[in-house]
A = this chain, B = another copy of it.
Amino acid sequence: MSEINIDFGREKRLGFPEIIYGAQKSIEQLESILDHYRNRKMNALITKLQAEKARVLLGRFPEGIYDPQAQTYIILYERAAARHGVVGVISGGTADAPIVREAANTLAFLGYEPLCYYDIGVAGLHRLQAKLPELDTCDVLIVVAGFEGALPSVVGGLLSQPIIAVPTSVGYGVAEGGKTALHAMLSSCANGILVMNIDNGCGAALAAVRIMRRTNA
């Protein structure tokens, strides 16, 4: 029996198609999945795709674009219709950039134009404070941080938007792997902070889309 069983009804049910998690699928599985998408001329987004696997896929599906930093592989058979709604994506440090980009690429894939603000973490608060007026115009804020993951707490105390916190696996020692940032975000003393799995930039973008479709319907 085939190892592939794509949920092509997902876009109709949920408003976005099935996203393909690339990290632990084999080349053969990914090729077989992309064949199904190509046959239907359906846009495809693969996340967490390692560079060596991307190289092989680009050989067979040269219509795709691979972002080596974000580890996303996107094939657009048809450009997504532009959507209303602005997501601000903020990161604590430069090293969080891959996850910022994963979120931003996912939003772009679905027709949204994100605003990205890198490296405005709590160790130098003035950097965040300088951006507050711009951030306040966003519909949703995605806040990406590694190490101690304090940025969502500070942002959540200053701005009233829905805030989606994404811990990253950036850090070492007890921070390594992102659990410290995750637990800090879940424990935030700022109220109503929403949290995603470690390094789940794509999921944060999809959650933002769930919110914006309601907001801007």
Residues of A within 8 A of B (CB): 1-7, 9-10, 13-16, 18-19, 21, 23-26, 29, 33, 48, 69, 92-95, 97, 115-127, 139-140, 146-150, 153-154, 156-164, 169-200, 202-211, 213-215
In the complex formed, the residue of B with least CB distance to A12 is B160
Number of copies: 8
A182 to chain B, nearest CB (A): 7
* Contact A197-B186, Cβ < 8 Å, known A4-B119, A69-B26, A211-B211: yes
Q: Which of B33, B181, B191 contacts A14, CB < 8 Å?
A: B191
In the complex formed, the residue of B with least CB distance to A23 is B172
The CA of A91 and the CA of B139, in the complex, are separated in Å by 29
* Contact A197-B172, Cβ < 8 Å, known A123-B190, A150-B122: yes
**Can you give 17 contacting A-B residue pairs, CB < 8 Å?**
A5-B119, A14-B157, A14-B159, A24-B146, A25-B95, A123-B188, A139-B214, A147-B189, A148-B153, A148-B185, A150-B153, A163-B210, A174-B198, A175-B197, A180-B183, A195-B197, A211-B215
The CA of A29 and the CA of B184, in the complex, are separated in Å by 25
